Chains A and B, each alone.
Chain A
Amino acid sequence: MKLRRIRESIRWRLALAMACAMCAALFLTGWALQRLFHEHVTQQFAQALEIHLDQVTAGLETDENGSPRIDPEQLEQLNDPLWQEPYSGLYWQVDRIKSADASAGQTAKHAQTGILRSRSLWDATLILPQDALADGRTHQHVITGPNQQTLMTLERAVHTDESDENQWRLIVAADMASVEQALAGFSGLLALSLGILFVLLMLAAILQIHVGLAPLRRLRAALRQIRRGKAHQLSGRYPQEVQPLVDDFNQVLSRNAEIVSRSRTQAGNLAHAIKTPLAVLQQAGELALQTPETQELAQLLLEQVDIAGRQVNWHLAHSRAAAAGVPGHATPLAPVLASLIQTMKMVYAERNIEMDWEAPAPPVVFAGETQDLQEMLGNLLDNACKWARGRIVIETACHATELTIDIGDDGPGMLPEVVNSALLRGVRLDESTPGSGLGLSIVTELATLYRGRLEFSSSPSLGGLQVRLILPAVPGEQEMDSGDSADDRS
Chain B
Amino acid sequence: MRLLLVEDERTLRQQLALGLKRAGYAVDEADNGQEALFLGDTENYDAVILDLGLPGMDGLSVLKRWRTNRRVMPVLILTARDGWHEKVEGIDAGADDYLAKPFQMEELLARIRALIRRSQGLASPLLECRGIVLDTRDSKVTVDGWPVVLTSHEFMVLDYLMHRPGVIVSRTELTEHIYAQDFDRDSNTIEVFVARLRKKLPPDAIKTVRGLGYQLVVEPCP
Contact = CB atoms under 8 A, between A and B. Distances in A.
**From B82, B101, B114, residue with most partner A Cβ within 10 Å:** B101
B191 interface: no
Interface string A266-290: 0010011111101111111011000
Contact of A378 (B12, B79, B88, B92): B88
B102 A275 contact: yes
A343 B102 CA distance: 20
B81 interface: yes
B19 A283 contact: yes
B114 A350 contact: yes
Interface string B78-100: 01111111011001100111101
A432 to B, nearest CB: 14
Interface stretch (A144-152, A369-377, A456-464): A369-377
Contact of A278 (B85, B98, B102, B104): B102
B16 A283 contact: yes
B87 A343 contact: yes
B12 A280 contact: yes
B11 interface: yes
A282 B118 contact: no
A272 B15 CA distance: 18
Given A283-B12, A378-B87, A347 B82 contact: no
B101 A287 contact: no
Interface in B11-67: 11-12, 15-16, 18-19, 53
Contacts of B98: 343, 346-347
B103 A342 contact: no
Contacts of B81: 268, 271-272
A374 B85 contact: yes
Interface residues of A, number: 37
Interface residues of B, number: 31
A332 interface: no
Given A280-B9, A339-B88, A320 B16 contact: no
A286 B9 contact: no
Contacts of A287: 15, 18
A90 interface: no
A135 to B, nearest CB: 114
B138 to A, nearest CB: 16
A305 interface: yes
Interface in A373-389: 374-375, 377-379, 382
B80 A281 contact: no
A370 B9 contact: no
B178 to A, nearest CB: 25
B102 A379 contact: no
Contacts of B104: 282, 286
A184 to B, nearest CB: 83
Given A275-B80, A283-B12, A313-B82, A340 B88 contact: yes
A317 B104 CA distance: 21
Contacts of B15: 280, 283-284, 287
A279 B97 contact: no
Contacts of A17: none
Contacts of B83: 268, 317, 320, 371, 374-375
A342 B98 CA distance: 13
B91 A342 contact: yes
A379 B88 CA distance: 12
Contact of A346 (B12, B82, B97): B97
Contact of B101 (A275, A339, A343, A374): A275
B167 interface: no
B105 interface: yes
**From A268, A279, A374, A379, residue with most partner B Cβ within 10 Å:** A279
B101 A346 contact: no
Contacts of A343: 84, 87-88, 91, 98
B26 to A, nearest CB: 19
Contacts of B95: 346
Contacts of B85: 370-371, 374-375, 378
A349 interface: yes
Given A276-B9, A349-B118, A374 B88 contact: yes
**From A274, A283, A305, A371, residue with most partner B Cβ within 10 Å:** A283
A279 B82 contact: no
B60 to A, nearest CB: 13
B55 to A, nearest CB: 12
A215 interface: no
Contacts of A371: 83, 85
B101 A276 contact: yes
A59 interface: no
A347 B18 CA distance: 25
Contacts of A342: 91-92
A286 B102 contact: no
Contacts of B80: 271-276, 279
A299 B100 CA distance: 21
Contacts of B103: 279, 282
A309 interface: yes
Nearest to A309: B102
A279 B118 contact: no
A343 B90 CA distance: 9
Nearest 4 pairs of A and B residues by beta carbon: A378-B84, A275-B80, A283-B15, A279-B101
26 contacts: A268-B83, A271-B81, A272-B53, A272-B79, A272-B81, A275-B101, A276-B53, A278-B102, A280-B12, A287-B18, A305-B102, A313-B82, A340-B88, A342-B92, A343-B84, A343-B87, A346-B96, A347-B97, A347-B98, A349-B118, A370-B85, A374-B83, A374-B84, A374-B88, A378-B87, A378-B88
Interface of B: 9, 11-12, 15-16, 18-19, 53, 79-85, 87-88, 91-92, 95-98, 100-105, 114, 118
Given A275-B80, A283-B12, A347-B97, 20 more contacts: A268-B81, A271-B80, A272-B53, A272-B80, A272-B81, A275-B100, A276-B53, A279-B101, A279-B102, A281-B102, A309-B102, A313-B82, A339-B92, A342-B92, A343-B91, A347-B91, A370-B85, A374-B83, A374-B85, A375-B85
